[in-house]
Amino acid sequence: MTQLTDDEAVDLLHEMLTIASPSGQEQELAAFLAARLAKLGFAERIDEAGNVIGEIGTGDGPTIMLLSHLDTADWPLPVRAEGGWLWGRGAVDAKGPLAAMICAAARRPGFRGLIQVVGAVEEERLSRGGHYLARSMPPPDRLIVGEPSGWSAVVLGYRGKIDLEYRVARPPTHSTNPEPKATEIAVGFWEAVCTALGPELSHAKFDRPAATLRGIRGDLVQAWVDVDCRVPPGFDAERLTAALRSAAADGELNVIRHIPAVRQSRANPAARALAAAIRRHGGQPRPLLKTGTSDMNTVSERWSVPMAAYGPGDSSLDHGPAERILLTEFLQGVEVLATALDELEPDARRLGNG
């Protein structure tokens, strides 16, 4: 068993970036990480969903889970190192955070308890890996979700998500016929979504809903609309869908998925451990509420445990043409996570196995 040096940690992330893993195509990366986890002294396995799971520690105490995801957006980006930055698809979202978690756990093989590092599949699409994990495994005692927060910030919440699909068909007709055409009805449905969400839509504010028209296609006869709604805690999803069904005319509305928002207290043990670790490394911890969605939402539907999200990287670079991570920040993230495990260890001893 060996522990990763800083150079080896960077090499691990670089190798991960060279393995393309868009949602639904994570098998090669999972196999690579399973082999690497075994080399680092983890007990490793790949579950039926394709999630890769590594466990390390003495087992004499409760479980701390470090959960991130294997998949990336499906837009290739060449891997290169330049000026202290490492470029590549997933450098920020979320291979950087996942690599940092693996390295941090590998540096704490004698942890009194159990550290589980999990790379989940399809977080970017339908969170299939996260849903399977929450159904198939007992909840950990503490959970840290690996998403980009910047090395000195802790994420306490994410907005929820409602994905909608709308289809409509109309009889063939001339374009000058005053009867509504399929494309016109589809545009009207999008306007109905914005109206139903309320007058204060915002992509920038955690406590406001927002909507994105992800796709629209059609003609006079048939049309299709794909809408992504982001909603704050307490949002009445049933009221929204009821209003949209009324507005759907003779079209077909499908709710593809609904993931409620999640918000944790900054006083919860996972968040406190991360904040203390950031301070110990010279930072001033900042609590964040994110307007997107993560596997923190997914697992919180079943697991009522203290949790927070953390990871190196600038989330504004997610999915974009300049996705990259500053290597000094990546290594700071490794140190913060390792120190957070130290902070959780005495807490774990007080908890025992319950």
8 Å CB contact between 316 and 99: no
| SS percent in the chain: helix, strand, coil, step 5 | 35, 25, 40
Task: Spell out the residues 6+ positions from residue 213 whose beta carbon is closer than 8 angstroms to its own.
Answer: 190, 225, 226, 227
What's the count of helices (H) and strands (E) in the chain, helices before strands? 9, 16
- Whether omega for the bond prior to residue 94 falls within 30 degrees of 0, making it cis, is yes
**The two three-digit tokens of residue 59, written as one number:** 């087992």
**Phi-psi label, residue 243: left if phi above 0, alpha if psi -120 to 50, beta otherwise:** alpha
300 to 157, 264, 347: CA distances (angstroms): 11, 10, 21
Q: Are 45 and 118 contacting, i.e. CB atoms less than 8 angstroms apart?
A: no
Look up residue 267 and give its amino acid.
Answer: A
Please name the residue that has the structure tokens 């055409």.
Answer: 181
**Residue that has been written with the tokens 């989940």 in this structure:** 120
H or E, element range at 166: strand 160-169
The residues annotated with a catalytic role in the active site are 71, 123
